[in-house]
Amino acid sequence: MTGQGSPDSMRPSSSQARLNGLIERLIGGVLLSGVLLSAALILAGLGWHYYLHRDLTFKYLVSASTIFQFFTHDMTAFVSNPPRPRDLLNLGIAVLLLTPYVRVAISLLYFLLAERSWRFTLITGFVISVLTWGILRG
Amino acid sequence: MSFLTLISISSLAGLVGALGGMGGGTLLIPAFTFLGMDIKHAIAISMVSVIATSSGAAAAYVRDRLTNLRAGMFLEIFTILGAIAGASLTIAMPRQPLFIAFGVILILSWGASTWRRRKETPAMTAAVDRFTATLGLRGSYFDLAEQSEVEYQPVRAAYAGPLMLLVGAAAGLFGVGAGALKVLVLEQIMGLPTKVATSTSNLIIGVTALAGSSVYLAAGLIDPGTTAPVILGVLSGAFLGTRLLNRLSNRSAQRVFLLILLILGVAMILRGMTNT
């Protein structure tokens, strides 16, 4: 099944191909920056903790039971109390957990607005609903 | 478990996993349990680390235009439902059968990888069925080795979906990516070219691992103090492993990895049969 000799109708149009290239770069960028940001936040949290306590062992449990709560608790802790290294650690994990979620959200917009494919808008909508339920449920 | 143990075990798992073409979870969980960590805790932490390694790899693949985004999205319907069911089962399950089941899945992964190595490119025999045609999954990618655009038409999406429900369940149950099983379905059932199957599997793994992680977080099994160093370790190990892979002979790295997989599989089953 190589490209040679296949009819043109089998290939996506050039504007479609450009659109595909754009969404692929965007999704790739989101995935990479999510992972890097998460690692950077964790590293910063660990470094800060080591600077304060000369130790790298963290022992604490999270009071949240959903990813959403985990994220919001952390943000609240970060702004209301004097920030602690563990807030950065939590934030790093939250960013990592939300990375695939953001990827699906972008795909949803892409299928809805750019490709206007109702089938894939529906499919992606279902996937994001299940993920949202997982993020919010207690 | 001390910070040093956590980070060194997880970097090693990431490194060896990358050399074997898998995520770190498969090796991480047996290693952690043998060092005394509760198996459910190890599974939950591994599930989060799977998001890190798969997203890192998927980013590169997607930008190289190797991933079939539509096929991935369609199959994610099934893998996330499977992962939620699987993770919920792990939480409810007694530990002994969990050890045995994990050992069995390690041996299955070993079998799947060994079998796959013999068949390099999947034979495209089936004609495109109506259901798959409706989804519009046809794709193409630029093959660097052949210096040409390769077009392909996926098939049998209606069978791949329900199978992915099982693969997703295995991923959620054991806190791993189950990449070998996903690639198996993508190649052998849907007829995707190897490169597209590998990269699409990576994309699916991230979302599947998120679905599983949400269940484990709700069960209070993900503690940041342990999870954070493991994320860093697995990521750096996988990063190093992928770079090392280009210098090593692919086959010898695979052979060593497969042997480790088999040994760990047997050890886990024995552990489940004796005591935890």
Contact assessment for residue A24 and residue B63, using Cβ atoms and an 8 Å cutoff: yes
Mean pLDDT of B45-72: 90
Predicted pLDDT of residue B71: 95
Alpha helices in A54-117 (DSSP H): 67-80, 85-109
Q: Which residues pair with B139 in a beta bridge?
A: B152
Contact assessment for residue B80 and residue A127, using Cβ atoms and an 8 Å cutoff: yes
Best mutation target among A99, A101, A106, A132 (most B Cβ atoms within 10 Å) is A99
Which residues in chain B touch residue A46, judged by CB atoms under 8 angstroms apart? 228-229, 232
User: In sequence order, what are the residues at sequence separation of 6 or more whose Cβ sits closer than 8 angstroms to the Cβ of residue A69?
Assistant: A138
Confidence bin at B234 (pLDDT 50/70/90): very high
More confident residue, B84 or A67: B84
Contact assessment for residue B49 and residue A39, using Cβ atoms and an 8 Å cutoff: no
Question: If DSSP codes are grouped into helix, strand and coil, which group holds residue A28?
Answer: helix
Q: Is the pLDDT of residue B161 over 60?
A: yes
How would DSSP label each residue in B60-75?
A: HHHHTT---HHHHHHH
Mean pLDDT of B1-17: 89
Confidence bin at A18 (pLDDT 50/70/90): confident
Predicted pLDDT of residue A62: 64
How far apart, in Å, are the Cα atoms of B181 and each of B152, B171, B209, B240?
A: 21, 9, 15, 24
Q: Is the pLDDT of residue A4 over 50?
A: no
* Residue B138, phi-psi category: left (phi > 0), alpha (psi -120 to 50), beta (remainder): beta
Considering only the beta carbons, identify the residue of A65, A96, A137 that sits closest to B51: A96
Nearest CA in chain A to B234: A39
Predicted pLDDT of residue A138: 52
Nearest CA in chain B to A122: B74
Predicted pLDDT of residue A8: 40
Nearest to B167 by CA among B192, B124, B204, B220: B204
pLDDT digits (tens, 9 = 90+) for A35-53: 999 999 999 999 988 888 8
Predicted pLDDT of residue B9: 93
Predicted pLDDT of residue A39: 95
Contact assignment for B73 to A138 by CB distance below 8 Å: no
Predicted pLDDT of residue B25: 80
CA A95, CA A78: separation in Å to the nearest integer?
A: 15
pLDDT digits (tens, 9 = 90+) for A93-108: 999 999 999 999 999 9
More confident residue, B54 or A76: B54
Give the position of tokens 């709560």: A69
Long-range contacts of B91-97 (CB under 8 A, 24+ apart): B91/B40, B91/B215, B91/B216, B91/B219, B91/B221, B95/B38, B95/B39, B95/B40, B95/B276, B96/B272, B96/B273, B96/B275, B96/B276, B97/B272
How would DSSP label each residue in chain B?
A: --HHHHHHHHHHHHHHHHHTTS-SHHHHHHHHHHTT--HHHHHHHHHHHHHHHHHHHHHHHHHTT---HHHHHHHHHHHHHHHHHHHHHHHHS-HHHHHHHHHHHHHHHHHHHHHHHH--S----SPPPHHHHHHT--EEEEETTTTEEEEE----HHHHHHHHHHHHHHHHHHTS--HHHHHHIIIIIT---HHHHHHHHHHHHHHHHHHHHHHHHHTT---HHHHHHHHHHHHHHHHHHHHHHTTS-HHHHHHHHHHHHHHHHHHHHHHHHS--
Which residues in chain A touch residue B210, judged by CB atoms under 8 angstroms apart? 97, 100-101, 131, 134
Nearest CA in chain A to B2: A57
The average confidence (pLDDT) of chain A is 81
Predicted pLDDT of residue A10: 44
CA B249 to chain centre: 22
CA A136, CA B247: separation in Å to the nearest integer?
A: 45
Contact assignment for A92 to B228 by CB distance below 8 Å: yes
Buried (b) or exposed (e) across B104-134, using 16+ Cβ within 10 A?
ebbbbbbebbeebeeeeebeeeeebeeebee
Considering only the beta carbons, identify the residue of A34, A120, A134 that sits closest to B73: A120
Give the position of tokens 């996903």: B182
Contact assignment for B228 to A56 by CB distance below 8 Å: no
Nearest CA in chain A to B213: A97
Contact assignment for A120 to B207 by CB distance below 8 Å: no
The two tokens of residue A23 are 């969404």
Buried (b) or exposed (e) across B193-228, using 16+ Cβ within 10 A?
bebbbbbbbbbbbbbbbbbbbbbbbbbebbbbbbbb
Least confident of B16-25, B163-172, B245-254: B245-254
CA B147, CA B153: separation in Å to the nearest integer?
A: 20
pLDDT digits (tens, 9 = 90+) for B68-124: 999 999 999 999 999 999 999 999 999 999 999 999 988 887 887 777 655 555 545
Confidence bin at B168 (pLDDT 50/70/90): very high
Q: Is the pLDDT of residue A3 over 50?
A: no
Nearest to B208 by CA among B33, B31, B87: B87
State whether residue B69 sits within 8 Å of chain A by CB.
Answer: yes
Which residues in chain B touch residue A34, judged by CB atoms under 8 angstroms apart? 55
State whether residue B91 sits within 8 Å of chain A by CB.
Answer: no
Scan residues 39-68 of B and list those with Cβ closer than 8 Å to A: 48, 51-52, 55-56, 58-60, 62-63, 65, 67
Give the position of tokens 């007694």: B94
Predicted pLDDT of residue B118: 54
Considering only the beta carbons, identify the residue of A24, A59, A117 that sits closest to B225: A59
What pTM was estimated for this model as a whole?
Answer: 0.89
